[in-house]
Amino acid sequence: MNKKTLGYVILLGSVWGLAECGLGIGLKACAASLSGSVMTAVALFFIATAYVSGRKFLNVALAVAVAILFKTLDALMLGLPLGSTEVVHPAFAFVLEGAAFVAVGALVTRFMQRSHMRGVFWGGMSALISAAAFPLVKAVSWTSACVVPGSNVPTAWAYAPVAMVLSMLTVPLALGMAEKALRFSTKESWRIPAAVALCAALMAFVRGI
């Protein structure tokens, strides 16, 4: 990974972290209604953009790591312990989404290279796999995934169709925009760190309101 791509992927992870901060409107123990599904689609948008920038697993892993770092800083600003579910659950979701995207991508790039529907399939299947596997979060946090009130159905499962539909839109959009967005990283070197710093400052401002 060259320096320009590295800076670009770090920027993507930063904007993703900022987006999570804005969409979350404050970390909560459980995602309300459809917010988790929306965040899954947003996450896959940034993951897809990072992947296309170099078509490497490392790019996705770095973007996920930066997003988790921003989520951690967000929690600290809210005075939440780092081991709380408000931190561990989203971080686990990020890792699942990244892993699902790469796994599905291995099939898509091999069997659907020329298909116009590959982005749709890629997004939908990545969202489905990450939603299906999310209850495994109990293995790393010792707390169960959130469930629909009055039932034992995990929220991730209940709203999986919504996450799939939204991801079927965001992933193709990311794949189409990635090449144009990558041109940003070829500009003056100061733009990347300046943009990352701005993301951090905006998050601090939002949490300070």
Coil, helix or strand at residue 115: coil
Q: Where do the DSSP E strands lie in the chain?
A: none
Structural domain harbouring 130: 3-208
**What pLDDT is attached to residue 206?**
58
Per-residue pLDDT of the chain (209 residues; tens, 9 = 90+): 666 677 778 888 888 888 887 766 544 545 556 778 888 999 999 999 888 877 678 899 999 999 998 888 888 877 878 777 778 888 999 999 999 999 999 888 777 766 678 899 999 999 999 999 999 998 887 788 888 888 889 989 999 999 999 999 999 998 887 666 656 555 555 556 666 666 667 666 655 55
**CA angle centred on 72, ends 69 and 75, rounded to 5°:** 155
**What pLDDT is attached to residue 2?**
66
Directed axis angle between helix 57-77 and helix 191-208, to 10°?
30
Number of domains in the chain: 1
Directed axis angle between helix 118-133 and helix 85-111, to 10°?
140
What is d(CA 57, CA 50) in angstroms, rounded to the nearest whole number?
9
pTM across the whole model: 0.85
CA distances from 34 to 38, 81, 88, 95, 160 (A): 6, 25, 19, 20, 10
What is d(CA 206, CA 115) in angstroms, rounded to the nearest whole number?
42
Helix or strand run (H / E) with residue 23: helix 3-24
